[in-house]
Amino acid sequence: MKVSDILHEKGSNVLTVVRSDSVSKAVDILGEHNVGVVVVLGDVGEVCGILSERDIVRRLRESGSSALEGSIGKCMTPDPFTSDLDATVDELMGVMSQKRIRHMPVVDGGKLVGLVSIGDLVKRKIEQAEREAAAMRDYIAS
């Protein structure tokens, strides 16, 4: 299964912000939509960063509540790992496990087209294992 298949199933809506937005704006978006990450876009719509709950917690620990009024550009993880539409679930699971990341923006032609999480990948692997087990049971029963 490829990333394009996952996005076809789950959709390609991604919550985004720009680096000049305040961290408090990002917190509002995260809370309102009950998500853990937003993608940060640059001046021409390119992916330039990712802002996660962990990034915000680290910044709050360093700077206290004043961090909320700072810009996302000072808090985000710059230049995140990205995927293209042709990457496989196994490829992404390897990268995400090795790099210890939970979300990966999907880019096509330099533009953001979706976001996949480690949960999306695990869900697909479980579904695949269940299909294979059912096929094996059917084979044995016949």
> What is the domain partition of the chain in residue ranges?
3-141
pLDDT tens digits, one per residue of 10-29: 988 999 999 999 999 999 99
The domain made up of 3-141 is a member of CATH 3.30.710.10: no
Angle between helices 3-10 and 89-99 (to 10 degrees): 90
Instruction: Give this prediction's pTM.
Output: 0.86
pLDDT tens digits, one per residue of 82-132: 999 999 999 999 999 999 999 999 999 989 999 999 999 999 888 888 888
